[in-house]
Amino acid sequence: MLLRQDDQDQIAYHVTSNLTSYHGFNERFKKILEAFNDEFQLLSCNMFDYFDDSKQSTEEFDRKMDLCYQLKNIISKHNSTWLFNIVPTGSTVTGLATKNSDLDVAIHIPQAAKLLEEMHSDIYHIEEERNRLWRGMQLEILQIVRLLLENDEQIKSRIDWNKGVQLVQAQIQILKIETVDGIDCDVSVVMDPFLSSMHNSFMIRHFANIDARFAPLCAVVKQWAASSGVKNPKEGGFNSYALVILVIHFLQCGAYPPILPHLSKLYKDDNFIAQNDRQYPLRLDFGAPLPRALPTVSANHSSLAQLFLEFLHYYLKFDFHMYFISMRDAMIKNRQQSMHPTVKNEIQKEVHIEDPFDAHNPGRTVRSLHHIKKVLKDTINLFIPVYVPNEDIDTQKKNFHFPTLDDILFMATSNSHLEAFEEHAQDDETQNEGPSTSGVPPNVIS
């Protein structure tokens, strides 16, 4: 039996495409993409320029790495028995960082967890007690580091003491540091053997190297989301990491042909990238290439601007209440039918995203899908000329303001946006669309 090309592409990249969304987008926007081809190409160039102009410089990266080395040396000097490492994570090391972005640093010290287990063996097996002990130890380590920053002459002069060093006791306790040369650094303590933020950063860095559109698309999505309130975890929006995960999922399962592969499945026997939080390489080389070339699939020639519009449409149509995003399997699955305990325990969450490696839900901060869907619709409206009966698209084009990059990056949502999208897509928020998976039986989507 011969496989169709769309089946071959999915199998080669180990992803399951949501072809219903892909075909729906093409049906709805084909004429607009053709009529405004030059405008989409220009917007794409502007998006690339925006990323190039705003991305972190090599000089800034070097200063951040120097701060990490200095923290490592100072802590080691005063705590010679600690077995730990200082690990920079997040956008600084993924290739997605913009100028003056925060530096996220983890003090990775599994030794502390082993010490607690030895000291409190009578209660350590009780999850609530273990979490309490861990939180207390993490706080103690951060307090020790703060004292070192205040008293060690080698690093004291590098800290901006007008801003001070703040200990924030949130769900994840962090030490907020600002240096005199303008580095905002958040230091956390990780006692698990598996440092998920490091492995996630490693994965994202390789995606940035695989396709040149990935990093600029992330930059545009994050700035658009920040200006419109979609990125606002404290008020019920997505956090920055979740937005990157949404971009990855879209480029794996929403765009077609798929643009990004499932790296963990492609290289599962190479000890190159984590499979989960129990099976992972003990050391990661962020400068190492992929173990071997990616499989050949059909090329996706969509412009960066088209991918942004398609990204908006994909998540406007996505039914987060019925489906969740499985990064572990590069597909979408039914929330109600899932037997996974984490999915079942978080059924009340607006959004569930299965992290690539561990059990946490990157979408857990979302509490206002209604607002997010409205912003998605308002942004899509910017690309759609006002519908005039009996007028062809070329006539409508003459009086239409195609959105500039600033219109997108700094948009303010309002109730006065065009209703054209509602005219042509009245079922966007009411119709539940399941995944169309060419070559994959429906009962596989669980």
* Same domain membership, residue 186 and residue 106: yes
Residue 5: the pLDDT is 65
pLDDT tens figures, 167-224: 998 888 999 999 999 999 999 999 999 999 999 999 999 999 999 999 999 999 999 9
* Same domain membership, residue 416 and residue 346: yes
- Inside any domain, residue 48: no
Q: Which of 138, 163, 191 is the last residue of a domain?
A: 191
- Inside any domain, residue 50: no
* Same domain membership, residue 397 and residue 271: yes
Angle between helices 369-381 and 214-228 (to 10 degrees): 110
Residue 63: the pLDDT is 97
* Same domain membership, residue 279 and residue 173: no
* Same domain membership, residue 182 and residue 78: yes
Task: Tally the domains of the chain.
Answer: 2
* Same domain membership, residue 317 and residue 282: yes
Least confident of 1-10, 137-146, 329-338: 1-10
pLDDT above 90 (res 97): yes
* Same domain membership, residue 205 and residue 115: no
- Inside any domain, residue 89: yes
**pLDDT grade, residue 1 (50/70/90)?**
very low
User: Rounded mean pLDDT of 365-392?
Assistant: 89
> Tokens 């005219």 map to which residue?
423
pLDDT above 50 (res 92): yes
* Same domain membership, residue 361 and residue 215: yes
* Same domain membership, residue 284 and residue 430: yes
CA–CA separation, 334 and 320 (whole Å): 10
Domain of 110, in residue numbers: 58-191
* Same domain membership, residue 280 and residue 209: yes
H/E stretch holding 309 reads: helix 304-317
Assessment of whether the complete model's pTM goes beyond 0.85: yes
Cβ atoms of 343 and 322 within 8 Å: the answer is no
Q: Which of 170, 191, 212 is the last residue of a domain?
A: 191
> Tokens 């495409």 map to which residue?
17
* Same domain membership, residue 139 and residue 18: no
Q: Mind giving me the DSSP string for 116-157?
A: HHHHTTTTTTSHHHHHHHHHHHHHHHHHHHHHHHHH-HHHHT
Residue 399: the pLDDT is 81
- Inside any domain, residue 44: no
Q: Which amino acid is at 233?
A: P
- Inside any domain, residue 129: yes
* Same domain membership, residue 299 and residue 175: no
